[in-house]
Structure 1
Amino acid sequence: MAILVHNPAYFQNKTVVVTGGSDGIGRAMVEELLNAGANVATCSRNSDKLYQLQVQNPGSKLFTMVADVSNETDCRNFINAVIRNFSTVDILVNNAGISMRAEFHEASLDTIRKVMDINFWGVVYCTKYALPYIQQQKGDIIGVSSIAGYRGLPGRSGYSASKWALQGWMEALRTELLESGVNVMWVCPGFTSSNIRNAALNKNAEAQGESPMDEKAMMTSEECAVHIMNAIAKRKRTLVMTFQGKQTVFMNKFFPALADKLVRKFFYKDNVLVK
């Protein structure tokens, strides 16, 4: 049964910024938000995919711009362009992100640095420049995190670090803004079918170009996007999706030593990282 947006009216005529909206969860969110009547702005490094997004949504209230969220100037220019087009920002969805797959001993520092620049600093930059407008609107700031923000995952040390940093930063920001009317939320999709594993960096900071996981068995990006939108409308604090994700968070909190063994078993076969 299809998952539906429960309260599309929450987004109607609001200006929603979604970073990394040319693919995966971000693209699915852009399309669902447009269907809900929102003004949507999105950015990506891929101009061709942004063009396709525009072509497939003719006449919609959609603004796109090529920008790299790891670059502070790009983030500032993007938010300024959004303001010129839509006058304000009601909701910021910090979705742009990248993964990695390499054990720490073989991973280049460039791999880990690039992951941190996109997954952590990209959120900080965009939020910094959008915050004054969101505060005026008493709006929402969302960070798309990961189960790796609760439980470090082998082969993804830099990715795990970036998501732990993201969640700690957002928790601090949420507390600072608690009496302001702004809601800060981080969501953890678990394993979702998207391009993130194909684009994941290898030990040399290059896209690995393939997924070691069974993408067909995962939650779709479209379903994930709807879950996020429903959580935004309810102004939740956190959202952990999938039974496996909730199980991992629970096990790591109450049975961490056992979680170590179970996570190791999931990702390794004969002492070789296979996922």
Structure 2
Amino acid sequence: MSFFKDKVVVVTGGTEGIGKALVNAFIDAGAKVATCARNYDKLYSLQLQHTNVELHTMTCDLSKEQDCRRFIESTIKTFGGIDILINNAGVSMRALFRDADVEVIKKVMDINFYGAVHCTKYALNSIVERQGTIVGVSSIAGYRGLPGRSGYSASKFALQGWMEALRTELLHTGVNVMWVCPGFTASNIRNAALNKDGNPQGESPMDEGAMMTADEVAQHVVKAIETRKRTLVLTFTGKRTVFMNRFFPSWTDKLVHKFFFKNGELVK
């Protein structure tokens, strides 16, 4: 019998990329799944793909606290509680700090950081009661600030620091707190990344075909939750970047700059 059979799993941002892959993986494992997104049509399409299973969906904007509360409370009402919360929803950005409107950084923080904070706040009592798991989908940008992604990096650093504090607070409750750093993953996040004015850039400057797939990431996350890992850093490039930045930070500055810039222009 699957470890996740009949467990209630909440995945924010479950209509695309890693989020959708996680929804699919947990449904296949026999879990009761709840997910949310801003786009009703994509949620409806997801429901059509999963008929005759226990899937709860709701449209909401995770940058708004009341939407987070409404989603979590409706999930508890529907399924009776929450075993696993995966704070996956997020948005990226691509703009040099000197060019970017500060509101862009605020928007990224509201979704990536405060969205996770609010969802976790309203789900916490149920998760503690069930001795469940809280997951934050972070990024290598949570270990190493990336040029052109200052707001995104800030949100992921904040997420990891907050989750580390939360993990320590909950150390003797039976709750596991884990953050996941996928590295570059083939998904829509770069197409939807905000430009300097806060609008989706609509294209990816990266080679998506060379990246780990969202389904692969999801399988790693599912296994890590089952084994109650503390952290999960994926891909060789991701692990190397974290290692290099910890022990050789000045050298890493130069390597990262070389990767993202060409002739003084941000190209990735």
Which of 185, 188, 194 is 2:187 aligned to? 194
1:15 maps onto 2:8 in alignment: yes
1:236 maps onto 2:198 in alignment: no
2: CA distance between counterparts of 1:144 and 1:122?
Answer: 12
Counterpart residue number, 2:173: 180
Q: 1:184 is matched by which residue type in structure 2?
A: V
The 3-state SS of whatever aligns with 1:10 is coil
User: C-alpha deviations, 1:84-138, integer Å up to 9, x for none?
Assistant: 1101000000000000000000000111000000000000000000000000000
2: CA distance between counterparts of 1:130 and 1:35?
Answer: 23
1: CA distance between counterparts of 2:202 and 2:56?
Answer: 29
Task: Map 1:111-190; keep pairs closer than 5 Å.
Answer: 111-190=104-183
User: C-alpha deviations, 1:170-195, integer Å up to 9, x for none?
Assistant: 00000000000000000000000001
Task: Map 1:12-161; keep pairs closer than 5 Å.
Answer: 12-161=5-154
Q: 2:41 is matched by which residue type in structure 1?
A: D
2: CA distance between counterparts of 1:12 and 1:199?
Answer: 34
The 3-state SS of whatever aligns with 1:187 is strand
- RMSD in angstroms over aligned alpha carbons? 0.6
Q: 1:179 is matched by which residue type in structure 2?
A: H
Question: Once the 2 structures are TM-superposed, how far is the Cα of residue 9 of structure 1 from its aligned partner?
Answer: 1.6
Which of 249, 256, 259 is 2:242 aligned to? 249
Which of 203, 209, 226 is 2:219 aligned to? 226
User: C-alpha deviations, 1:20-45, integer Å up to 9, x for none?
Assistant: 00100000000110000000000000
- TM-score by length of structure 2 reads 0.99
Percent of aligned positions that are identical? 66
Residue ranges of structure 2 left out of the alignment (5+ in a row): none
How many residue pairs get aligned? The number is 268
- TM-score by length of structure 1 reads 0.97
Q: 1:226 is matched by which residue type in structure 2?
A: Q
